Structure 1
């Protein structure tokens, strides 16, 4: 029997913060008691908070480990282990690695990251060397010529637990400002203004031709899996209406208040990027997530590109009394767990998986002091 007793703690339950003792036994939460344990093996948490392990339904962080510089690809397994360590250091115990399927002509390295990422996860998870529990979130670039072949090769992988429909074409969604898009591509590439303009024209022609048939093919290809499906970077009411008609029930990173309100009105769940909260706004000029919080339009946060942003965003909202501690923590634990259909984690209750994070508040910042994954110390 493996047992860990965490006492003299403030335990964050779905409804309250209680002082007491949390007992982990054989990978599960055994008991939550409102008193202090006198057992000699109990760990004194010194009044620190205990919260559920975070559930990140969308992180691109692996891409940043694989390509620490634009022209320097890092070995895949090493990059994955580094990514895993960063997730644990951020209190993220369940990770949906969001790998991009399909190239729209400016991000050719992403295809290799996808292929290597699926292979490396299968290898590493089977070896038992990862600290967090990792799954796959397929980010399907709908107008990309190579998206169907990439999806077909991974559609049956049991680690796939979520998929999103993306369209990063110029002038669409996140990139609806074409002037900003042109400037970004010229800055990021060695292409001339004329070459970028030519590429934009090619991409728009391809989108007109392929978007709808490839969208329908993707939905049909994954229908038997009954996965949670998300739309990505929604910007208009018309976009939301199309998604609802296609059976999509999650709006991931809506870029306008109009889209977020339409998503909520249609019964969709809304994911926002935690970095938007931490930074005080969108890095690409889209809607401020703080405004979405104020309008009660956010159901969950995802880290997007910085694992540490999830807990920092949630704790910041609690520290500023925007939300109660249980409400704020639920945005990065229970709510995303439900979205991804994990019934065994996301909040602290007897019988659930013992994914637990110990943290000490430092003003508006949370300092992690311990992480347990399925009852085993991981950080």
Structure 2
């Protein structure tokens, strides 16, 4: 197939260099990279902008924000998926792992509906070629939830399933290691002190009954498959050791420096929340991602709940932690690709998928000026 699109006049971010040059796309793939300007009159002049690989977001809850823009206003599911997709694309995210909560702990019953409807919309709109980004499935398995197994198994063999994470949002562990903060959450929901203590007892009882069983269900189903497995919100050395023993190789959003560094010492890779970097700290009072970054304990960023945070966090990493631009961009491109076993993307190199993002830095803030997925412009 002949060359179809040429980019010139830009700064191309490669694995370990930034090249002032040109890039050619043939079909869906990168065909060639050359130093210097292209003489082709039809070439796209990048006017000095950066050209980076398309971002890969391993964890985003952004669809939930579109489904429930207000606590009492549920948006039509398909319209929410279309809006979510558009927000990801304009943020430069060309591969989206839609992260659906599997299991209800009694806080957000609507999440199950979001999960079931969202997967159906993802399938239908993807098959119709109507989504700008490529959407893959990330199942977030809530281990203490009584309904987790029944919800998980029908989707465990889904064709788009690419990541499974094990999480536990019980009081006293993980993100909610500080039980008093958990109590405050329940109080903000309007519960009386007696109701708060009843809820805590119920959550602890559910964890005691279901966590071990549900963990075994997930691990048994995933054994021997080329689907990435992650733990979620690791807090202690014991958390990390259990995950390593069970063959889990990704620590997603470790909430303490101790857990993040322990995970890496075991050969696990770590994901930090990009909003944590952009905001300057954790929204739930846990370890600051910038501190993890400076300690060398971050392998990738995920958007969590703000797609645009990924690129901004990567650019901030050059000043916050002194990373080179290629090293920083790899946090949202190459490293997530490797973690999710996506060998065809995440870098700018001949033969790889032509997922590309044009970026201009304005006062240190990245502005996305163009997005191409598989060689086709989508934003």
TM-score interval, normalised by the smaller of the two chains: over 0.9
Which ranges in structure 1 are unaligned for 5 or more consecutive residues? none
- Alignment partner, residue 289 of structure 2: 289
Is 2:274 aligned against 1:279?
A: no
- Alignment partner, residue 137 of structure 1: 138
> Are 1:311 and 1:332, in contact at CA under 8 Å, matched by a contact in 2?
yes
Q: Pairwise CA RMSD of aligned residues?
A: 1.1
Equivalent position SS for 1:38: coil
User: Normalised by the size of structure 1, how large is the TM-score?
Assistant: 0.98
Equivalent position SS for 2:125: helix
In the alignment, the residues of structure 2 paired with residue 12 and residue 350 of structure 1 have an alpha-carbon distance, to the nearest angstrom, of: 13
In the alignment, the residues of structure 2 paired with residue 120 and residue 29 of structure 1 have an alpha-carbon distance, to the nearest angstrom, of: 30
- Alignment partner, residue 49 of structure 1: 50
> Are 1:105 and 1:199, in contact at CA under 8 Å, matched by a contact in 2?
no
Which ranges in structure 2 are unaligned for 5 or more consecutive residues? none
- Alignment partner, residue 350 of structure 2: 350
- Alignment partner, residue 25 of structure 1: 26
Equivalent position SS for 1:217: helix
C-alpha change, 1:230 and 1:320, in structure 2 (3 Å) is closer
For 1:334-373, list aligned pairs within 5 A.
334-373=334-373
Per-residue deviation at 1:318? 2.1
In the alignment, the residues of structure 2 paired with residue 280 and residue 4 of structure 1 have an alpha-carbon distance, to the nearest angstrom, of: 39
Q: Which moved more, 1:257-266 or 1:49-58?
A: 257-266
Equivalent position SS for 1:260: helix
Is 2:173 aligned against 1:172?
A: yes
User: Normalised by the size of structure 2, how large is the TM-score?
Assistant: 0.98
Per-residue deviation at 1:315? 0.8
- Alignment partner, residue 120 of structure 1: 121
- Alignment partner, residue 208 of structure 1: 208
In the alignment, the residues of structure 2 paired with residue 368 and residue 75 of structure 1 have an alpha-carbon distance, to the nearest angstrom, of: 28
> Are 2:293 and 2:321, in contact at CA under 8 Å, matched by a contact in 1?
no
In the alignment, the residues of structure 2 paired with residue 130 and residue 179 of structure 1 have an alpha-carbon distance, to the nearest angstrom, of: 42
> Are 2:3 and 2:24, in contact at CA under 8 Å, matched by a contact in 1?
no
In the alignment, the residues of structure 2 paired with residue 8 and residue 266 of structure 1 have an alpha-carbon distance, to the nearest angstrom, of: 43
In the alignment, the residues of structure 1 paired with residue 309 and residue 155 of structure 2 have an alpha-carbon distance, to the nearest angstrom, of: 29
Equivalent position SS for 1:361: strand
Q: How many residues align?
A: 378
1:133-171 deviation digits (Å, cap 9, x = unpaired): 000000000010000011111011010001000000111
- Alignment partner, residue 4 of structure 1: 5
- Alignment partner, residue 255 of structure 1: 255
- Alignment partner, residue 98 of structure 1: 99
Is 2:39 aligned against 1:38?
A: yes
- Alignment partner, residue 77 of structure 1: 78
Is 2:313 aligned against 1:313?
A: yes
In the alignment, the residues of structure 1 paired with residue 247 and residue 356 of structure 2 have an alpha-carbon distance, to the nearest angstrom, of: 34
Per-residue deviation at 1:321? 6.7
> Are 2:274 and 2:313, in contact at CA under 8 Å, matched by a contact in 1?
yes
Per-residue deviation at 1:94? 0.3
In the alignment, the residues of structure 2 paired with residue 220 and residue 226 of structure 1 have an alpha-carbon distance, to the nearest angstrom, of: 13
> Are 1:8 and 1:46, in contact at CA under 8 Å, matched by a contact in 2?
yes
- Alignment partner, residue 221 of structure 1: 221
> Are 1:319 and 1:363, in contact at CA under 8 Å, matched by a contact in 2?
no
Equivalent position SS for 1:225: coil
> Are 2:290 and 2:320, in contact at CA under 8 Å, matched by a contact in 1?
no
In the alignment, the residues of structure 2 paired with residue 118 and residue 69 of structure 1 have an alpha-carbon distance, to the nearest angstrom, of: 22
Q: Which moved more, 1:219-228 or 1:344-353?
A: 219-228
